[in-house]
Structure 1
């Protein structure tokens, strides 16, 4: 699964989602985090000892995704915005779904509120729509035991 969460790796991702999905690796794709040694170390520390965390720039992720061995890994990919999510879906085949979690609470001037934890700009909606149009399921769900809201219903709700 690919998750959009502006906090990247934190309790919901590191503990709840990773266990629910049965993954053994978390891959963060974010240029800013990958180029900041302190943030990279913090994200790795937030990951349980039972799994491996990798923090990559978009370019390094693109190179890694080109390796066919990646398809055999049990991975949760985390990005912090729809633009990075679109980049990942365009460079890694086989992603079954994109899960939107907490996003848009920072820099809300051009963003419309869809839920308590989700605000999207027109560009964010366009990027998510492009992902869905490519055949990948897009939905909103904070944690696995909460209701899942399909992307089209989410967008209608905010309209």
Structure 2
């Protein structure tokens, strides 16, 4: 699973999602976080004891996502925007699901439209999510595993209103 969450690794990802999915690796794909040793260290401290966390820029992620040794692990990939999610699905061997969590509140982009309290999207975000779906990958909004899911079609219809 690829999760879009602008906060990257925090309680929902570290505790709830990683345990629910039973992952033993969490890959954060984000150029800015990979270039910042303080942010990388902070993300690693937030990771659960049950999973190794690796922070990668896009270039290194592209290599690792295609390494056959990765198939030996249960992996959660975390990105903080739809563009990085699109990059991951276009460069990874196998992605079944892109899960959207919190996105759009931190970056005060006036072009983003409020879908709900935790999701704001602009036209480029929608285009990236549609491109992911066009590859046959399921795209859903879901904050935590025990909450209902909202499909990409429902998100787009909400955005249009």
Does TM, normalized by the shorter one, top 0.5?
yes
1:149 maps to 2:150: yes
Which ranges of 4 or more aligned residues in structure 1 deviate by more than 6 Å?
A: none
8 Å contact kept, 2:99–2:142: yes
Give unpaired runs (5+ residues) of structure 2.
none
Cα deviation digits, residues 15-74 of structure 1 (max 9, x gap): 000000010111000000000000000000000122100000000000111211112210
Contact residue 66 and residue 93 of structure 2 kept, 8 A: no
Quote the RMSD (CA, aligned, Å).
0.8
Query: How far, CA to CA, are the matches of 2:7 and 2:132 in structure 1?
Result: 21
| Distance in 2, Cα, partners of 1:101 & 1:117 | 7
- Separation in 2, partners of 1:96, 1:72: 16
Q: With the length of structure 2 as denominator, give the TM-score of the two structures.
A: 0.97
Corresponding residue number in structure 2 for 1:102: 102
Q: 1:5-154 to 2 correspondence within 5 Å? A: 5-105=5-105, 106-154=107-155
Q: Distance in 2 between matches of 1:60 and 1:76?
A: 16
Residue 76 of structure 1 aligns to a residue whose secondary structure is strand
Deviates more, 1:102-111 or 1:38-47: 102-111
Describe the SS at the equivalent of 1:131.
helix
How many residues align? The count is: 159
Give the structure-1-normalised TM-score: 0.98
Does the 8 Å CA contact 2:28/2:55 hold for their aligned counterparts?
Answer: yes
Give 1:127 shift.
0.2
Aligned partners of 1:49, 1:20: CA distance in 2, in Å?
A: 14
Structure 1 unaligned residues grouped into runs of 5+ = none
Shift of 1:107: 1.8
Question: For the residues of structure 2 that align with 1:5 and 1:152, how far apart are their CA atoms?
Answer: 19
The offset of 1:108, in angstroms, is 2.9
